[in-house]
Structure 1
Amino acid sequence: MWFQQEIHFPEVARGFHLITDDIARALPCLNDCHIGMLHLQLMHTSASLTLNENTDPDVRHDLDAFLSRLVPEDLPYFRHTLEGPDDMPAHVAASLLGTQLPWRCGMDAWP
């Protein structure tokens, strides 16, 4: 059985944001899933998806600090600044981290 649904998220500032609860609310059918695969595809090129631990919020902080240092907003050779100084760094992060995330669900894999 296949199920497809588009989920819309509000615009958020640069950083690492938890979306697990948003996905669970948008897809209540996951509660009935015994085994399967959830495939998330982000349809925006200046945002990305990554799977990481959620026990310590410092992980999100440190990942953001690392990416901000790796790809700062004030690099003088960035020409693409049409949507602001954070736009090109977000494109680079999306290229590095990706915009797709497969997620095994069922058998206690879904939080």
Structure 2
Amino acid sequence: MAFQQSFEVNTRGRGTIEITHNVARIVSASGIQVGLAHVFVQHTSCSVVLTENADPSVRRDLETLAARWAPDGDAAYRHDNEGDDDMAAHGRNILAGASVTIPVGGSDMLLGTWQGIYLWEHRTLSQRRRVVVTVIG
């Protein structure tokens, strides 16, 4: 059995937005008792990540790391059609990923105590992003 829904997220530019509750509603609506929830973002300049949800400094520190991994405006980049953050955003997407998969039990996600699902926007300007959740069981 499979169930699929999507939702949109309006970002405020670079940073994380928790989407755990959006995904949990879809998992619950699926009626699937045991299976997997796959969360995928349909874009190449943002990511979906599973990370700590208790201390916001973790997500701020992730931004610091990402700036080291893929700095904006690097002179070596050839792809800069949409500005200094263009190629850096694509690189950050490759490094952080476009999807996560979470086990489902009792129609709930089996997340750890301090785990949350986040859309991580890599562009500096606000964007509208679409996230697809597929629950299989």
TM-score (norm 1): 0.82
- SS at 1:9 equivalent: strand
Instruction: Show the counterpart of 2:13.
Output: 13
CA shift, 1:83, in A, is 1.9
Secondary structure at the residue paired with 2:89?
Answer: helix
Give per-residue Cα distances to partners, 1:24-77, cap 9 Å, x unaligned: 35x2516x5432211012111111121111111010000111111221112111
When structure 1 is superposed on structure 2, of 95-104 and 55-64 the one drifting more is: 95-104
CA-CA distance at 1:5 after TM superposition? 1.4
Residue of structure 2 in register with 1:87 after alignment: 86
Moved more, 1-10 or 87-96: 1-10
- Give the secondary-structure state (helix, strand or coil) at the position aligned to 1:69: helix
Cross-structure match for 2:99: 100
Shift of 1:94: 0.9
1:24-103 pair list within 5 angstroms:
24-25=24-25, 27=26, 28-29=28-29, 32-103=31-102
Gaps of 5+ in 2: 117-137
Q: Which stretch of structure 1 is more off in the superposition, 15-24 or 51-60?
A: 15-24
Unmatched tracts of structure 1, length 5 or more? none
The structure where helix makes up a greater share of residues is 1
Aligned length in residues? 109
Preserved CA contact (<8 Å) 1:49 1:100: yes
More strand by share: 2
Mapped partners of 1:2, 1:29: distance in 2: 12
Deviating runs (4+, > 6 A) in structure 1? none
Alignment RMSD, CA only?
2.1
Q: Report the identity percentage.
A: 37
Identify the residue that residue 124 of structure 2 maps to in structure 1.
none
Rounded to whole Å, the distance in 1 between the matches of 2:80 and 2:21 is 32
